[in-house]
Amino acid sequence: MPEVAITSRGPVRSVCLFHRRPLQQVRRVALDSSSRTSAALLRVLLRERLGRDPEYVAMPPSLPDMLAAADAALLIGDRALYFEGEESRLDLGQEWTERTGLPFVWAFWAGRREAAQPSDVERLQAALAAGLENLPAIASTYNGAGGAALNERYLRSNIVYRLGEPEVAGLNEFYRRAFGLGLIARVPELRFYGGG
């Protein structure tokens, strides 16, 4: 099973729905056009939470512009992580884990079976190990607005870098729910390097 992935087992802090009114009153949602996975996850979560689908509109990631055009706005990355305004937020990682009891997989390496050799996988795993050993240096040199302490806390507390059985179960559950809403054409078969 691969070990290199970006997952969360609760709040992720960098993928959030911002809203000024109670979620039950949300009728229109602006989607950050940077991430189709986050948009699909939000659709799954809001359908379950609201029992209906709001109207969705894709927009560039500017919270003031998004909230001028919609009742709520999905932001990802630094814009979500470092936001300090008054708007309420729904952390999608936390909402997923509370609803399913499973982690959410935000990213992982994928490719055709013949695309990676054992040495490629070993290099990915070595890069992960080197990165984990150097989190303070990585956090202090990143130019994000939160500063070294916030960056390191995010990298240590909100992100998990290994893909184990709970993460695979979470990934399969996300695919199952996305398929159930017609967001993907089929539930993909997951085959892992070294797993046949």
Predicted confidence (pLDDT) at residue 195 exceeds the cutoff of 50: no
Banded model confidence at residue 1, pLDDT cuts 50, 70, 90: very low
| Lowest mean pLDDT segment, chosen from 61-65, 68-72, 113-117, 192-196 | 192-196
The whole-number pLDDT of residue 45 equals 98
Contact at 8 Å (CB) between 119 and 21?
A: no
Backbone angles phi, psi at 111, to 5 degrees: 180, 175
The whole-number pLDDT of residue 151 equals 87
Domains of the chain and any CATH numbers: 12-98 (3.40.190.10), 104-173 (no CATH)
pTM value? Answer: 0.89
Predicted confidence (pLDDT) at residue 196 exceeds the cutoff of 80: no
Torsion of CA 18, 146, 154, 23, to 10 degrees: -10
Banded model confidence at residue 72, pLDDT cuts 50, 70, 90: very high
Average pLDDT over residues 30-43: 93
Higher pLDDT, 56 or 3: 56
Banded model confidence at residue 11, pLDDT cuts 50, 70, 90: confident
Task: Supply the mean pLDDT for the chain.
Answer: 89
Banded model confidence at residue 21, pLDDT cuts 50, 70, 90: very high
Backbone angles phi, psi at 16, to 5 degrees: -140, 150
The whole-number pLDDT of residue 159 equals 87
Predicted confidence (pLDDT) at residue 182 exceeds the cutoff of 80: yes
Predicted confidence (pLDDT) at residue 47 exceeds the cutoff of 90: yes
pLDDT 10s digits, 120-176: 888 888 998 999 999 999 988 887 666 888 888 888 888 888 888 999 999 999 999
The whole-number pLDDT of residue 63 equals 96
Nearest C-alpha neighbor of 6 from the set 77, 95, 80: 77
The whole-number pLDDT of residue 3 equals 56
Rounded Cα gap, residues 182 and 21, in angstroms: 28
The whole-number pLDDT of residue 181 equals 96
